[in-house]
A and B are shown apart, each in its own frame.
Chain A
């Protein structure tokens, strides 16, 4: 339990799993802020990539980032009995 009284991990979680989970949360936070904030140049039409306006391509990138992050996290899950 941390200072705020929030209970994020169970005592049985291995340190390696905690690290991957933290890494995932960083990727996730980055992807979320990528879609939430009006980053300069990102919120524009050009350059078009794959025929899509840049913002649209950016959103696809965020989807791919979260997907890869989830794959990473899933692969580090401890085996179930």
Chain B
């Protein structure tokens, strides 16, 4: 049998197992919105651990991560740093979010904040922000899936077919099983990704250089040594600045658990303990970025000049004469990374559009069964829209995503104030959030106005956001005691 066919069959087998797992899990949950969105608040640590890990590590981890290491060296370590720094806040606010959800029936992030600040406008702003962040995110995941299948089959499976097939599987199990479909498939996908990453990350340096140590020694003694000198290189290949490195860690770290699809998992947790234990265990998932980055470093000396850098993994798979079984497994691992993020995003986007957009934001009265139907409808429509965009869009997606990320981070001061600062008011929260988003977007589009060259624009947004939140809150009447108390003492 030809190599590409063996690899393709492995990927198809992976897709079949994922589909079966996803559909079977749907029988374990009630037919209510809480069942569909928050798994009847029943997830234990093991499922939560893999849901968090696998949702976080997207096709960016498998393609972009090695690409960063390959082109920018140790700059890529900022990804490792912000993940570990950023997960800790969840340990503290996650259980509170969970208890509020149980008490008031919340299943989305905006429901908590809109309750605390008694504001419909907040629901609408957060819905729009999520939409702006999710659409490019999901399109990028689809592109990753399509590209990897196209590459390993030398174009015999065209991009459109590969992306379409993998995401048809995702849409089917998300629509059928809701968050449990996401949960159980992510468990399988997450384990698969970890095994593949550790294996490939150690195997490539050994095969190409005789070990991880010798690989770094050789890079350090070559003309590429600069990429190992902290904080690595910028996108143009010049030394990166300390301000850029550190501010990226701060902004990405604070924004990490503000992503609605990750934040929402607090509601699915069975108990405070299961949620806390998930955070405690998360570093064991995060550390798999080390082998992921080693994959990228292994290409530096042997295969210079791969462009774009993100294609280093498919490139290595093609160049090295690896066994087709291994190629198939790596390809399936990349699909797992893409799909396990795509499913969480699609699922959350549906939930947010209906719960926050229609019910809270526009005040529509929709019964439980109808809500569930609409959520599924949004999942399918969004999936199809994203697929269309994946086929036509080429540039600008990453820019859009980074801009949205800057917006997502701006939720942090509101979440912090909800649980720790009783004096925050509705006016303060709205003014702060809007200021943060506007300032962030302004500096993103006009970097030449940045007071400190290279500084991540999210820092300016966050600073002014917090300032405005505090000042406006102190100038306005305190919010009604009952809601404030429910949150601060949750």
Which residues of chain B have C-beta atoms less than 8 A from A1's C-beta?
Answer: 422
Q: What is the CA–CA distance of A71 and B283 in the complex, to the nearest angstrom? A: 11
Q: Is B317 an interface residue (CB 8 A)?
A: no
**B309 adjacent to chain A (CB < 8 Å):** no
Residue of B nearest to A5 (CB): B423
Q: Does A63 contact B (CB under 8 A)?
A: yes
B24 contacts the other chain (CB 8 A) = no
Decide: B422 and A7 in contact? CB cutoff 8 A: yes
Q: How far is the CA of A28 from the CA of B91 in the complex (A)?
A: 12
Flag if A44 contacts B84 (CB, 8 Å). Answer: no
Report how many residues on chain B are interfacial, defined by Cβ distance under 8 Å.
45
Q: Which residues of B contact A52 (CB under 8 A)?
A: 212, 216, 290
Instruction: For the complex, give the distance between the alpha carbons of A75 and B271 in Å.
Output: 16
Q: Is the CB of A43 within 8 A of B231?
A: yes
Alpha-carbon distance between A66 and B83 when the two chains are bound, in angstroms: 11
Complex Cα–Cα for A49 and B217 (A): 12
**One of B84, B246, B283 near A37 (C-beta < 8 A):** B246
Which residues of A from 29 to 46 have beta carbons under 8 Å from B? Answer: 31-32, 35-38, 42-46
CB distance from B246 to the nearest CB of A (A): 5
Whether B74 and A56, one on each chain, are in contact in the complex, defined by CB atoms closer than 8 angstroms, is: yes
Q: Is the CB of A74 within 8 A of B230?
A: no
CB-contact partner of B280 in A31, A64, A71, under 8 A: A71
- C-alpha gap A56/B295 in the complex (Å): 14
CA distance A38 to B228 in the complex (A): 14
Determine the chain A residues whose CB is within 8 A of the CB of B420 once the complex forms. 6-8
Report the minimum CB–CB distance from B41 to chain A (whole Å). 14
Q: Does B3 contact A (CB under 8 A)?
A: no
State whether B246 touches A6 (Cβ < 8 A): no
Q: Which residue of B lies closest to A75 (CB)?
A: B280
Q: Known A55-B77, A66-B283; judge A80-B85 contact (CB<8 A).
A: no
Q: How far is the CA of A48 from the CA of B246 in the complex (A)?
A: 23
Tell whether B426 is near chain A: CB-to-CB under 8 Å: no
CA distance A48 to B221 in the complex (A): 13
Within 8 A of A (CB), among B186-214: 211-214
Measured between beta carbons, the chain B residues less than 8 angstroms from A44 are 229-230
Do B74 and A55 touch (CB < 8 A)? yes
Shortest distance from the beta carbon of B263 to any chain A beta carbon, whole Å: 19
B263-314 residues at the A interface, CB under 8 angstroms: 271-273, 276-277, 279-280, 283-284, 286-287, 290, 293
Nearest to A37 among chain B residues (CB) is B246
Contacting pair B249 A60 (CB below 8 A): no
Task: Establish whether residues B271 and A63, one from each chain, have CB atoms under 8 Å apart when the complex forms.
Answer: no
Residues of B within 8 A of A (CB): 74, 77, 80-81, 84-85, 88, 91, 211-217, 220, 225, 228-231, 242, 246, 249-250, 271-273, 276-277, 279-280, 283-284, 286-287, 290, 293, 419-423, 488-489
List 6 tightest A-B contacts by C-beta distance, closest first: A51-B213, A43-B230, A51-B212, A67-B283, A35-B81, A70-B280
